[in-house]
Every structure is written in C-alpha cells, then in structure tokens.
Homo-oligomer: A and B are copies of this chain.
Amino acid sequence: MGATMKDIAKRTGLGLATISSYLNGGNVREKNRIKIEEAIRELHFEVNEVARGLKTNRTKTIGIVIPELNNIFFAEIITEAEDILRSHGYATMICDCRSDPEREKEAVDFLYHRRVDGLIVMPTGTSDPGFQKFLRAGKPVVMIDRKMRDVACDCILVDNEGAAEDAVKRLIQAGHAKIGMIAGPEDVYTARERQRGYQKAVQESGIVCDDSLIVRGNYTIAGGAAAMRRLREANPDMTAVFISNYEMTVGAIMEINDLGIRVPEELSVIGFDNIDFAKASVPRLSIVTQPTAKIAQEAAETLIIKLEGKDRIVDAEQQDVDGERTTVTVTLKTGFVEGRSVRVLNNKV
C-alpha cells in the first residue's frame, strides 16, 4: 500500500543505500537531501518498522508485565513509562497477568515470541516466569516494586519498609502506643516489607506489640473495610491505625465513617498512596505516597540506556561467564503528605 524506499530511490534517481543513510541520520549531499525529502512528502513514505526490525533484529518494542492493570498504583506507573518509552520511539506491549503466576509465564513467553527488545515487569510469582531467557538473549529486564533473588537484573524499588517504619514512628512520636496495622497479603513482597517496617518501629519504641494489632486484608476496598472492623473489635482501645495500600485505605475510611468513629479525635489514621483520595477526605488524610512517576522514569531510562548503550550487543556466552552483568538496584524514597488525621496526644495540638 504505502510507498517503500525503493519508490523513493526510483523517484530521486538515487540508490537504496543513500535513502537508508538519510533515514538513519547519515551524511547525504544537501542537494539529494532535498530531493529525498520532497519524494518522501509526495509519496507519503513512512519507514516500515517491521522490515527494519527484521533486519536489525530489534523491534523497538518493550514488553510490560504487571499483576493488575486496574490498580491505580500500577496504572500510574504504566502510563508514565509508556509515555517516556514512546517519546523515545519505543512501543509498549502491556500484559496484565491478573496476579496469576501461570498467566505471567504465558505473558513473558508471548512477549518473547514477539521479540520485544526488553522487559519492564512487576513480578507476581515467586519463581522466574522466563526472565532468564531474555537476559540470556542479551535483552534487558527491569524489575519494578520487587526483587527476585534468582534473577539478576536491574531493579527499581521503593523503600517500603522505611516508609512503613516512618509512618508508624510518626504515630508513636505523636504519643500513640496502641497502633493497629492493616497489612496486605502474606505472599506479596511489598506487603511483607511494609509489615516489617511496622514491626521494626513498634519494637524499637517498646510500645504494645500484640499480634491482634495486625490484621491482614487482601488489598481491596472490601478487604480494608473488613480488616478495619476486626481490628477495632479486637482492640477497642487502639488509638491509631496504619493502612498499607490505597484500596484498603478507602475501605477502612468507609468503615470508620460507618462506625461513627471520629478522626482524629478517637482514632488517628495514616493511609497509603493516592493523594487525590487523601485530599478529598475529611479530615484530610495523612498518607504515605509512592513516587510513581519517578519509578516509571527510572525504569524506562534504565532500560533505554541498556538498549542504546554501546555494550548493547552482549554475547550470551560472556554473560554466563561473568555470572552476572552489571545490574543496578535503585531504591526510591517514599513521600509523606501531612493531613489532619493524626492526633497529637502527648502535648497540645
């Protein structure tokens, strides 16, 4: 349908190589450059990336594998990453594996067949769903939000433990001694980290440390609401609660409203993610925020550097010899947005 380089060559009377050179930023005589540009315009020529990909063995396409697309935190990262990659000429193929390791394997395999140049992933399962295959083929893999010990690749992490620890310490500093936590699923990496942060803060401060103060939700709105209720039932005298993801924060707040508990007079609350929700809450919620844009940016750039850097063409053998390539692990700091949901107990507000 569309015009090809051949057409441009014919039209301009130049050789194929010259056109190719022009297209790839090579040196072309001024006179010819003009002719070529004219022909391109007239013939509506557009490079066929597919053919180019076949030849160069690079598709200029990045695969993205995530647990859930309909989760604001993930969606925000993806949106941003896609934007950056596209501005560098890379297309993205997104695969939502619905937190299912089986589907995750399929997705990775699918992307491998599609010959994507690299991968950005937020792993779901515990064992490698096929990332090694990419690495062995010299294709970069960047892991987000989570690390896997048996896959040596770049990682962009968030200091989840530190974030939780910091949040809980703020509560402690404000004079709270009986602090509940709505934790996430045990099999989720970040959930474990956040819980560890809570425990660290609690233990270091020597305040009440009771198992009944930690209730596990499943990262959903309903789960957060149920957890809040159980937490309150088991600990009527609890003065503060830390909720460890967005959906559960929404659920917990709804439950708090329903129980008629006043925030922060009767209960202090620190939530997670989503500043929009925090701002709309009354009183405005204090929350831990994750640097989604920064995560995406780091991930995309790490990938692009590996992709375009001079060490791009790496021998599969050589990597095996090395045992591991130079990989980077970036741990980003979380933020904290102060609201009015934490009551200061030990001195006047």
Show the binding face of A for B, using Cβ within 8 Å: 1, 46-51, 53-54, 59, 61, 68-70, 72, 75-76, 78-79, 82-83, 86, 91-96, 98, 107, 110, 112-115, 137, 220-222, 224-225, 247, 250-251, 253-255, 257-258, 276-277, 279-282, 316
Report copies per complex. Answer: 2
In the bound complex, residues from chain B placing their C-beta under 8 Å from that of A76 are: 70
A1 CB contact (under 8 Å) in B51, B137, B279: B137
CA of A146 to CA of B93, assembled, Å: 25
Interface centre among A48, A68, A254 (most CB of B within 10 A): A254
Whether A258 contacts B277 by the Cβ 8 Å rule is no
Whole-angstrom distance from the CB of A244 to the nearest CB of chain B?
Answer: 17
In the bound complex, residues from chain B placing their C-beta under 8 Å from that of A59 are: 50
Q: Could you write out 27 A-B pairs with CB less than 8 Å apart?
A: A46-B113, A49-B114, A49-B115, A50-B59, A50-B115, A61-B93, A69-B69, A69-B79, A69-B82, A70-B72, A70-B75, A70-B76, A75-B75, A78-B96, A79-B96, A82-B95, A86-B95, A91-B114, A221-B276, A221-B277, A221-B280, A222-B279, A225-B280, A250-B250, A250-B277, A251-B280, A254-B281
Whether A48 contacts B115 by the Cβ 8 Å rule is yes
Q: Is the interface of A mostly helix, strand, loop or mixed?
A: helix
Whole-angstrom distance from the CB of A264 to the nearest CB of chain B?
Answer: 14
CA of A54 to CA of B54, assembled, Å: 8
Whether B92 contacts A94 by the Cβ 8 Å rule is yes
A75 CB contact (under 8 Å) in B69, B93, B222, B251: B69
CA of A276 to CA of B254, assembled, Å: 12
In the bound complex, residues from chain B placing their C-beta under 8 Å from that of A221 are: 276-277, 279-280
A83 CB contact (under 8 Å) in B49, B93, B96: B96
Whole-angstrom distance from the CB of A277 to the nearest CB of chain B?
Answer: 6
Whether B276 contacts A255 by the Cβ 8 Å rule is no
In the bound complex, residues from chain B placing their C-beta under 8 Å from that of A69 are: 69, 75, 78-79, 82
CA of A114 to CA of B70, assembled, Å: 26
